[in-house]
Amino acid sequence: MDDIKQKLGRHHRRRRHFYRRRQCRSRSIVERKKMKRQLLDCVAAVSNSPCLSSSYHFYPTIITLTMAADIPYSLLDGKYKFPHIGLGTFKGHSGDSEVYEATKVALDNGYRHIDTAHVYQTEKAVGKAIRDHPTVTRDEVFVVSKLWQTFHQPEHVQPAINLTLQNLGFESLDLYLMHWPMAWEFKGYEFEDMRRCDAQGHIECVDVPVIDTWRAMEKLVENGSTKLIGVSNFTIPMLEQLLAECKIKPVVNEIEVHPSFPQTELVEYCQQKGIVVSAYSPLGNPGYRGNNIPVIDEPKIIEIAKKYNLSPQQLFLSYGVSRGYAVIPKSVTPSRIKDNIHYVKIADEDIKEITEIGLRHKIRTCDPVEMFGPANDIFGEH
């Protein structure tokens, strides 16, 4: 009997020790969660500080943190994770099934930021891939789409996003961007109506003030059609005018940025104003309209890439993320999709050298005059 009592005593002591350890561990988990909540509360408090406010919506505070796979991200509006590496889904020559599979591969490999647009004709494939994924939920993926130029008249803005949501199969969008700052005549909501041009292949602009379109977009936030709104292809003067007139500030400016087109002044301006830059064509848009930036073959670029054990393409993407903005490379090739999410922090001296080399081959690969005609010279480069 004494032996049994001794064994029971040891057993109960071990159980008490086990539960004390588990309680300590549980408390530490609770404390870590509490600290995380306190951090997010601080972010929200800072974001809503009167010193940052104008009208009733504030400049979005840019806070760069790290998410899964060590991918930095910003907190838009103080609460929405915006990963700094995303998948671009400009359709190009790709079919719907390729875009669908590419989106699934991206989700499998840790992408949580997908960029699409109504004019890309990829919204249906992107939405289906997200809805069909067995483990990644809709709430985990930050999805961006865009308002096309033919929908700038205020009465067409709500129907346009309704069509986008219908294509995606979503109740709400994460971020809706004004695709370009110029407006075109409305011809209809079908794809063939969106790029009707004259005999020379040009599209004329119509007079719809940006602020009129923007105010219609602000209503989309108010009615829950999208959480956030932003712009694309906006210059500093365009942003200054919009910021002076709007109620809800743009959280993102999606622009062309890569080593041969670093847009340093515009990137720094956006960062000063709390507007996150998202870089389309971060690799120089290879394969589109014959584009190929020669800087990628520069011996020094190859040398720097080897220093970080990266390919030149991976170096360019890490270069962008290291400069503090998001990159959205487009690919439907599984191996490239996997390679593109590999991020390494690039040293400041290497960023400077890459930029200097790139500027010797300066090129804008998405020129609105070449794409849409002389009436669309919004950058004043022609």
**Interaxial angle between packed helices 312-322 and 299-307, expressed in degrees from 0 to 180 and rounded to the nearest 10:** 70
**Interaxial angle between packed helices 210-222 and 154-168, expressed in degrees from 0 to 180 and rounded to the nearest 10:** 50
- Same structural domain, 39 and 74: no
- Same structural domain, 64 and 26: no
- Same structural domain, 166 and 23: no
Tens-digit pLDDT profile for residues 234-274 = 999 999 999 999 999 999 999 999 999 999 999 999 999 99
Q: How far apart are CA 84 and CA 277, in angstroms?
A: 9
Tens-digit pLDDT profile for residues 285-316 = 765 555 566 788 889 999 999 999 999 999 99
Which among 100, 120, 325, 343 is annotated as catalytic? 120
CATH number, residue 229:
3.20.20.100
- Same structural domain, 228 and 335: yes
pLDDT above 70 for 122 = yes
- Same structural domain, 249 and 115: yes
Q: How far is CA 323 from CA 64, 258, 270, 346, in A?
A: 11, 11, 12, 9
The residue-averaged pLDDT of 6-27 equals 46
Contact between 363 and 260 under an 8 Å Cβ cutoff? The reply is yes
Please compute Rg for the chain using Cα positions. Answer: 24
Is 120 one of the catalytic residues?
yes
Range of 32's domain?
Answer: 1-47
In a domain, 264, yes or no: yes
Burial string for 30-47 (b: 16+ CB within 10 Å, else e) reads eeeeeeeeeeeeebeeeb
**Tokens 């400009």, residue?**
90
- Same structural domain, 178 and 31: no
* H or E stretch covering 21: helix 2-47
pTM of the model: 0.82
Query: Model confidence at 194, in pLDDT bands (50, 70, 90)?
Result: confident
State both tokens at 336: 């490239």
